[in-house]
Structure 1
Amino acid sequence: MTADGFLDTLCDDNETALSRLGSSKSLYALTGGEMDADAVLAAAADDANAAAETYGAWADDGDVALFAEAAAAERDHYDDVTAEIGDHDATATPAVYVYLDGLDDPVARLGGLVGASLAGKQRATQTSGFFTGEADPSTASLFREYGSTLEARRDAAVDALADLADDDGDWDRAADAASGAVQAAYDDYVEKLEAMGVNPKPVC
């Protein structure tokens, strides 16, 4: 498998989940129905904190430079987000990071990083749009830039896989981990909406 084929197949296989994670219902699920700026920022802060801890632990456990870079970027993003809301006690661990914590080798972790970046990009775009609607261009720009960071991280992880993967078995293991990360985020989205009595599927 090639790097391009890996990413194309991953996006095709998870098209529905990624599309719904990029919908307005995604923020509704993340905030428990509290669609106000503070709730959206608090959810984003929880996400960045959990990401920084997960990727930091991976960096401490191996020699993949990208994990340390991702951890540092997430710490910076957490600082940027919490600067918007003041003190924040990050206690929630989003489901995608619970899933990622179970990955224990570099190939699977790089795959998981790709999947988490794809899911995170969808939500970052939706969050940027939310703050555009709130007439807050500065915060909208913060999340737009974060989305670009996630895109670059996704591509860097695929490149790292191209160097690390020895055979199709490694690519398959990375693909399973990537899809697992997307599905963990999507399953959490579905469960939260259904618990609020909201249909997770788009209404045509």
Structure 2
Amino acid sequence: MDASDLAATLRDDHETAFSRLGSSKAMYAITNGEMDGGIVRAAAAINADAISTVTDEWSDNNISDTDGHVDEIDETDPDAVFALIATDAGKRAMDLNPDISQKEAVSRPRLYDVLESMETIASRLGGLLARSLMTIEQVSQMVGFFIGNADTKTANEFRDLKRMIESDRDRILTALNSTCESDTAWEDAQNSADAVIEAAYDEYVDSLEQMGIKPKNVC
């Protein structure tokens, strides 16, 4: 197995979860039925802040200078990848900068509690891969949301956000290939990725059910 195989396996094994988490109804779940642009922005900011916090706790590296500039990193080094994601995601959270009342309308997704519980490098990278794959789908829907609201400026901002997360995914794939040297390590990565996806999907289902919507009928 390599990292690309793992990504493909996750998509195959969790086809329903990816389909629904990347659907327009996912926006409904994220915003608790409000479908408000400010709340969508707040959700993106909370996700960025959460992954920044988690990866910062994992990293012993400080890769930015006093001006926040990040030098070239060794993408085969998981610690450097964690540090870069922490730094970049922290900047994204600040750039998104939603109103405090909008942030209060969105809770931190449960998947970050699952990520925080991971202890091995392989499990952390596997969990990060799953999170990046799902977030790319989610942000794609956010782009569509703002296009539908005729907010071209914000749609372009979220296109940039998607490209940044795709770059994170690529770095995670590189780090996985350099780190997982045994079947056991790949199993560890896959099990952790499965757990992250399941946590995200369970939260999606719970959110819809609390609003009286049957997730089975939503694709």
What's the TM-score, normalizing by structure 2?
0.85
Which residue identity lines up with residue 145 of structure 2 in the other structure? Answer: F
- Deviation beyond 4 Å, 4+ runs, structure 1: 86-91
Show the 5 A alignment for 1:51-200.
Answer: 51-60=51-60, 64-82=79-97, 85-87=98-100, 92-200=107-215
Q: Residues 176 and 129 from structure 1, CA distance in 2 versus in 1: closer, same or farther, beyond 3 angstroms? A: same
Q: Residues 201 and 189 from structure 1, CA distance in 2 versus in 1: closer, same or farther, beyond 3 angstroms? A: same
Aligned residues: 202
| 8 Å Cα contact 1:20/1:201 also seen in 2 | no
- RMSD of equivalent CA atoms: 2.0
Could you say which residue in structure 2 is the equivalent of 1:40? 40
Show the 5 A alignment for 1:1-40.
Answer: 1-40=1-40
Q: Alignment identity in percent?
A: 40
Q: Secondary structure at the match of 2:146?
A: helix
Which residue identity lines up with residue 116 of structure 2 in the other structure? Answer: D
For the residues of structure 1 that align with 2:212 and 2:174, how far apart are their CA atoms? 41
| 8 Å Cα contact 1:193/1:199 also seen in 2 | yes
For the residues of structure 2 that align with 1:196 and 1:63, how far apart are their CA atoms? 40
For the residues of structure 1 that align with 2:39 and 2:195, how far apart are their CA atoms? 27
For the residues of structure 1 that align with 2:81 and 2:56, how far apart are their CA atoms? 10
Q: Which segments of 5 or more consecutive residues in structure 1 lack a partner in the other structure?
A: none
For the residues of structure 1 that align with 2:56 and 2:103, how far apart are their CA atoms? 16
Query: 1:194 offset after TM fit, Å?
Result: 0.6
Query: 1:18 offset after TM fit, Å?
Result: 0.8
Q: Secondary structure at the match of 2:136?
A: helix
For the residues of structure 2 that align with 1:196 and 1:88, how far apart are their CA atoms? 21
| 8 Å Cα contact 2:115/2:127 also seen in 1 | yes
Q: Residues 35 and 14 from structure 1, CA distance in 2 versus in 1: closer, same or farther, beyond 3 angstroms? A: same
| 8 Å Cα contact 2:38/2:102 also seen in 1 | no
Task: Give a deviation string over 1:134-190, Cα, whole Å, max 9, x none.
Answer: 111111112112112222212221211111112111001101111211111111101
Segment drifting more, 187-196 vs 149-158:
149-158
| 8 Å Cα contact 1:52/1:71 also seen in 2 | yes
What's the TM-score, normalizing by structure 1?
0.91
| 8 Å Cα contact 1:25/1:200 also seen in 2 | no
